[in-house]
A and B are shown apart, each in its own frame.
Chain A
Amino acid sequence: MEMPTEKRYPIVMRDIEEDWRNAEHSMGTSIMAVQFDSGVVVAADSRTSMGAYVSNRVSDKLTPVHERIYCCRSGSAAHTQFVADIVKYYLELHSLELNTLPTVLSAAQLFKTVCYRNKNNLTAGIIVGGWDPVHGGSVYSIPLGGVLVRQPFAIGGSGSTFIYGYCDANYKENMTKEEAVAFCRNALSLAMARDGSSGGVIRTAVITKDGVEREMLPGNELPTFFEQ
C-alpha cells in the first residue's frame, strides 16, 4: 500500500525553503556572557532573520533591564522584547521597594518565572548578565524550557552550537576585562562564520560597579581564523 504524501509535483523553491514573506522574525543569533574579575561582559551578533532574509543586520540584542543588569536575547525577537519589557517593569518596582540596586539573581528569577509559566507560548532563550553590590558580577542562563542556572560563562542561540568546544577550551577563571572581551569576540566571530543565522557586527557591553561600557566591532574588523 502506498504511503500518502503531503505534496506531489511540481516541487518549487518555496516548498524547500521557509518563505521569508510569511516567516516570523527570528534571531538566529550567537550570544554569550562571561563573568570576569570585576564584572561581566555580555556580547551578541546583530543579525535578525525572517527565514532566509536578513531583516535587520545591525540589531541590538543586548537589552538593559536595569542600571547594571543586561540580558542577551535569542529566539523570537517579538517574544524576547516583550519578556524583557515585563522584567524591566517589575525590576524597577522591586528596586524602588528595596531602595538599592537589585541583584542579578532577582532579575534572572523574574525572567525564569515568565519564561517557565508561558513556556508553551514562548520561544525565548535568554542570558542574564550583570553586577550587583551583594554578589558582584554574575551570569545566568535561561534556555527554552525555563530552567534557571548560574554559570561562570554562558553561550546561547543557534550559533552557540559551533563554539562549545572553543569556549570550554579557552575559558579561564578571573580573566581581566580585556581578556574577557577578547574571548567573547573570538568566540562569536567563529560562531558567526559558521552559522548562517548569525552575522553582522559584534556588540559588547562591559558591566562593572563603575557602569556600563558599550562597544561595537564592525564586520570587517572581526577576528579571522582558518578558513576566513
Chain B
Amino acid sequence: ESNLGRRKEGGKEEKGVARVGNMSSVGTGYDLSASTFSPDGRVFQINYALKAVENSSTSVALRVKDGVILGAEKLVISKMISPESGRRVHMVDHGIGVAISGFVADARQLVARCQEEAFSYRDIFGSTIPVRVLAQRMANYMQVYTLYSYVRPFGASILIAGVDEENHQPQVFQVEPTGITVGCFGAAIGKGRQSAKTEMEKLDLANLTCEEAVKELAKIIHTIHDDIKDKNFILELGWVSPQSNYKYERVPRELVAQAEKAAKEALGDLSDMEEEDI
C-alpha cells in the first residue's frame, strides 16, 4: 500500500491534505472523529472505514434468473488453521445469505444483527423478511455508527442475497460502512472488486441459471485472485436456488469442485507446479 501514492480527486489535490512522503492522503485535523466534517464536506473516518474494506479479500454476489449466488475468496494465512474457520458466507435466514469483506470481527457483529433482524421480523409479522427490508435496516444500523465521536464506523461491507418469498424475486444488496445500500445484479467488495466487476459485466446475468452462475463465479474469483501477493485461498460458495428449494445452502461440494476445476482450466492454471522444485 505504501507505493500507491496520494489519492487525487478529479486531478486536483484534496483540501486539508498533507503530503507526508509516499503515504496516502490524510485529512489533517478533520479526520480524528466521525463527528467532524472536513471543509469540503467529507467525514474522513467513513472514508477510512471504506479503505479497510478495500484492503481485505474479495466477496462477490450474483443475481441471476432463478436465484442468487454468494462467493468469497478466503485467504489461507497458514496451513495450521482449520479450513472451516473464518467463515465469510453466512446464513441469515432460511432464504437469505450474507457475504462479508473487511474487518472480520466487525462483520461478525453485522451478521449477528442481520440474523436478529430477520428473526424479529418473522416473530412480529409472521413471514420472511424481504431482502430489501433487511438491507435497509442494516444500512440504517451502520449509519448510526457514523454519527458519534465515541464509536467508529464498521470496517466491513456486506452483500445480502436472497429470494423473496412473496414474489420469488432474487435480490442482491450491497451495504457499506457509509450506511448506503444499493440493489445490484452483480456486486463485489474487497481488494479485487474492480476486476470482479469487469468480469461480471461480460456476463448476461439475467439469463444465467444458478448452476451456470456457480461456474462463472468460481471463474471470477480465480481470475481476480492475486497469486503473487496472496498464497492459497479457499473458495466459499453459498446459494439460494431451485436446487436448494429456495433455501440458503452452501453450494454442494461436487458442484464447487466441478466449478473450480472448470475455472482453473479456463485460466490455464499451472499452480500444481508450484509444489515442485524448479
Contacts and interface: CB of A to CB of B under 8 A. Distances in A.
B136 A109 contact: no
A129 B136 CA distance: 30
Contacts of B39: none
Interface size class of B (residues with CB under 8 A): under 10
Given A97-B136, A134-B166, A110 B130 contact: no
Interface in A84-133: 94, 97-98, 102-103, 105-106, 108-110, 113
Contact of A98 (B124, B126, B130): B130
A103 B127 contact: yes
Contacts of B150: none
Contacts of B126: 103, 105-106, 108-109
A98 B133 contact: yes
Contacts of B127: 103, 105-106
Contacts of B136: 97
B125 A106 contact: yes
Q: Interface of chain B, helix or strand or loop or mixed?
A: loop
B124 A109 contact: yes
Interface in B195-244: none
A212 B166 CA distance: 23
Contacts of A105: 125-127
A103 B130 CA distance: 12
A24 to B, nearest CB: 30
B141 to A, nearest CB: 14
Interface in B127-169: 127, 130, 133, 136, 166-167
Nearest to B164: A134
B125 A110 contact: yes
B179 to A, nearest CB: 16
A97 B133 contact: yes
A108 to B, nearest CB: 7
Nearest to B136: A97
A94 B125 contact: yes
Interface string A61-92: 00000000000000000000000000000000
Nearest to A94: B125
The 10 closest A-B pairs by CB, nearest first: A109-B126, A106-B125, A134-B166, A105-B126, A109-B125, A97-B133, A106-B126, A105-B127, A103-B127, A98-B133
Interface of A: 94, 97-98, 102-103, 105-106, 108-110, 113, 134
Interface of B: 124-127, 130, 133, 136, 166-167
Given A105-B127, A109-B125, 20 more contacts: A94-B125, A97-B133, A97-B136, A98-B133, A102-B125, A103-B125, A103-B126, A103-B127, A105-B126, A106-B125, A106-B126, A106-B127, A108-B126, A109-B124, A109-B126, A110-B124, A110-B125, A113-B124, A134-B166, A134-B167
